[in-house]
Structure 1
């Protein structure tokens, strides 16, 4: 599997000639990430994970790209796209996804986990959030620290910084998942000074528990 990181939480995965894009949000290079994508996976509705303007526009230009998202997100996308919610064969291409299910994306197995976005504040209502595990190896949790149960990923994408988290939770998430390798996502709000402070501690503690934390610049491609 080949992983390319884009800004913030967007990644592009290529496996078995299948291109899968996760969370093309408004901080990300949506057009580049989604170009030629067979499938797009959305963890939740927030615009930094689903650009409300550029993603529909890109989907209209790519009539056979399939989209997988929590039910409320999928419903809104279908309404936005109208007739374009069907592919070139006239089949529905915006699919509802629930946690604890399994998908087959043209031969690429995907398992789903989670249910809700991490709590931001008790007075801010949470939204649906689904994490995706690709080929039993690569886990993207969206905006949550849900640990995939019953399986140990080899690579985890860790939300490094968010209004809903603190550094200790990031470290505890990495320890709990126990993946040999971790790359950062959800990092667009950090300055260079912020990266230096947060990543120093995350890398140090992750390493004590057997996880190699590696920083990826946007546009970097690695094998996972």
Structure 2
């Protein structure tokens, strides 16, 4: 399986001639939407959900009820899933985790629903949360910026999830200087931190 990182929180997975997009949002390059066989959306914020460009793909979308309420024009192409549920998306085995977006400010409470996705028991995308999968993964996608982000829980999340490698995501707010800091916090011999720029790929065995 091939994983390609795109701007901010979007990744593309390719396997056996099929393409799965996760969180193609408003920051995503047009190339993200060139082709897909299915889309996963973790939550309803625009940096993860570009409604117009997802609608133009004419493929199934798997997401939570909050996002589905914004995609009613897509009809039965939208499939509502919840934490703990497993399903098939274009030949990829997917399990959903969690239910809440991370808190941005205490007085705002939980801003919306959020589900993480474990894909083929290999790649885990938590959306805007540090919800952990219940098993080891090959590639753990670690959010590294955002209004809700804080470094200590991010490092704890990365240390707790058993993974072969870490890849930083949710990085659209960072400068080149900021991006260069994160290997210092996350890189270890047992879980190397792999920095991917938009368009870079890594093979998942």
TM-score range, shorter chain: over 0.9
Residue 25 of structure 2 is matched in structure 1 by 25
Task: Tell me, in whole angstroms, the C-alpha distance in 2 between the residues paired with 1:57 and 1:135.
Answer: 26
> CA shift at 1:41, angstroms?
0.4
Larger Rg: 1
Runs ≥4 in structure 1, deviation > 6 angstroms?
Answer: none
Between the aligned partners of 2:183 and 2:144, the Cα distance in structure 1 is 8
The one of 71, 86, 93 equivalent to 1:109 is 93
Provide closer, same or farther for how the CA distance between residues 57 and 28 of structure 1 changes in structure 2, counting only shifts above 3 A.
closer
How far the C-alpha of 1:199 sits from its partner, in A, is: 3.1
Please give the per-residue CA displacement for 1:90-136, whole angstroms capped at 9, x wherever unaligned.
xx101111110001123321011011001111222421001000100
Distance 1:168 1:57, change over 3 A: closer
Which residue of the other structure, out of 171, 185, 201, is the alignment partner of 1:201?
Answer: 185
Kindly report the root-mean-square deviation, in angstroms, between the aligned alpha carbons of the 2 structures: 1.4
Give the alignment of 1:43-62 within 5 angstroms.
Answer: 43-51=42-50, 55-60=51-56, 62=57
Shift of 1:141: 0.4
Task: Report the Cα offset of residue 58 of structure 1.
Answer: 4.5
Deviation per CA, 1:126-158, whole angstroms, max 9, x where unpaired? 210010001001000000101111x21111110
Q: State the aligned residue count.
A: 203
* Counterpart Cα distance in 2 of 1:26 and 1:133: 23
Task: Please name the residue that 1:220 is paired with.
Answer: 200
Q: What is the rounded CA distance, in whole Å, between the counterparts of 1:158 and 1:138 in structure 2?
A: 11
Equivalent runs, 1:146-161 vs 2, <5 Å: 146-149=131-134, 151-161=135-145
How far did residue 184 of structure 1 move?
A: 0.7
Unaligned runs of 5+ in 2: none
